[in-house]
Structure 1
Amino acid sequence: MGRFSDRVRGAGSAENAAHGMSPLEGGKFAAVLSAIALAISGYSLWETSLKQADVRIFVPPVVQYSAPYQNSNFEMIAVPVTMTNEGARTATILSMQLAVTDPRTQVTKHFYAADFGRWTMERTRTGAYEPFAPVSLAGRSSRTESVLFYTRGDGEKPAQLIEALGPYNFELTFDVAETKDKPTVKFDRSLLYYDARAFNERTLPMYSADWQSSSNAKAD
């Protein structure tokens, strides 16, 4: 009987010890769950409200070119641009600059974003364009525009940069109000044929060699 009582008392002590550990272990588990929930909540807040504006630029395989005026250094380049803001905060694109280089001569000419729209000589005569204005991109939003870039002043040389057949190097840069970073995309487009008579009514296309769009977006 004594041995049986000892076994009962031993079993009871073990059970009591196990019960005594449960609140401690449960507290640790609850603390871990709370920490995970807090981390998820903080990440969600960062992604939805606090993440800095992050502008991505996408340019399609074809851009358009025109040099409609004789005895002038004016050239027009139409670049369809898709702009996305991968951040949570608003991004305001104050201006866009385009630099074009002829790799045969290493001469670079600079252009500024002047208008939105599809360029034709008739629309130019009537002023049927929407003037460029700063673009506001809410967090997690996008916008697509055909941006018309014009020669940046009379001092830009040569008078006509794009005339020889072959590739040209483009560098498109955005000024964004909310960040010191300047989103930039570099790409090449080639002039496959040239006929100045086309400028009376339309533009000349310039093509990507691989028929792929260009972007500053980092590969995942």
Structure 2
Amino acid sequence: MAKAQHELAVDGLENDASESPGHSRGTLSAMISVLALVFSGYSLWESSLKAPDIKVFVPSVVQFSAPYNNTNFEVIEVPVTLLNDGGRTGTILSMDLEATNPKTGDVKRFYAADLGRWTMDKARANGFEPFAPIPLSGKSSKTQTVLFYTNGPAQKPDQLIREPGSYNFRLVLDQAEVNDFGPLDHILRRGPAQVTFTMELREYDARAFQTGTLPLYSTTGRSAKGGEAAQP
């Protein structure tokens, strides 16, 4: 009897040992399947479902001109790179630029009006491409040279940039809202993309405005990367 019980115990141990590798393989397969599902879902979210996530970059050199006498018109020429890190298409409806002279505290506002390099010949010939809303598909980028004009006759002073020195800028994008997923998009809604940067005018010579522009250089020597504006 004792011998029979011993043999049954040995057989049980052998069965447990033989079943253990199979059980481990089953657990590993299940874990791999779960990981694959998670990775697939994450890839789908990033590539197709994620809301537009637009970032803006400004290079280390921009241009400006004050070409007309007895007016408050100034033009700021800013090459802008836009990147949509989301999965769905995002659209830039407009751009607003705020310039500040830190010495005087004067603030002047500009709006995106045209595209291209500023020259007086092109201005006389109306040779610029008008600014229009910019759609950005998911995971795409676009670079445009944007011409910002004085935002109306009420903007003072007549000429904000009028001597060598540093000037502060804040560029804010007005983006179209997305509501593909209703309340979820509202909860995850981001503030408009913006970028702040400081530029230095090293030399001032108004004669340059007869044909073109004067450069302003980044005080850091590097391009400026935009962040996210605070929610209203």
Superposition TM-score, scaled by structure 1 size = 0.91
How many pairs are equivalent?
217
Counterpart pick for 1:184 among 173, 194, 203? 194
Mapping 1:27-106, distance limit 5 Å: 27-106=26-105
**SS of residue matched to 2:216:** strand
Unaligned runs of 5+ in 1: none
**AA of the residue aligned to 1:139:** G
Displacement of 1:33 after TM fit?
Answer: 2.2
1:196-220 CA-to-partner distances (Å, cap 9, x unmatched) read 11101110001112221111159xx
Pair 180,29 (structure 1): closer, same or farther in 2 beyond 3 Å: closer
Counterparts of 2:218 and 2:22, CA distance in 1: 67
CA–CA distance in structure 2, aligned partners of residues 9 and 100 of structure 1 = 89
User: Structure 2: how far apart are the matches of 1:191 and 1:30?
Assistant: 64
2: CA distance, partners of 1:171 / 1:177: 20
**Aligned residue in 1 for 2:180:** none
C-alpha distance in structure 1 between counterparts of 2:161 and 2:24, whole Å: 74
| 2:12 equivalent in structure 1 | 13
Structure 1 Cα separation of the partners of residues 199 and 24 of structure 2: 65
Identity rate of aligned residues, in percent? 49
TM-score by length of 2: 0.87
Question: Is the CA contact 2:193–2:227 (under 8 Å) kept in the aligned structure 1?
Answer: no
Moved more, 112-121 or 33-42: 33-42
Cα separation, 2, equivalents of 1:126 and 1:163: 26
Q: Separation in 1 of the partners of 2:190 and 2:31?
A: 39
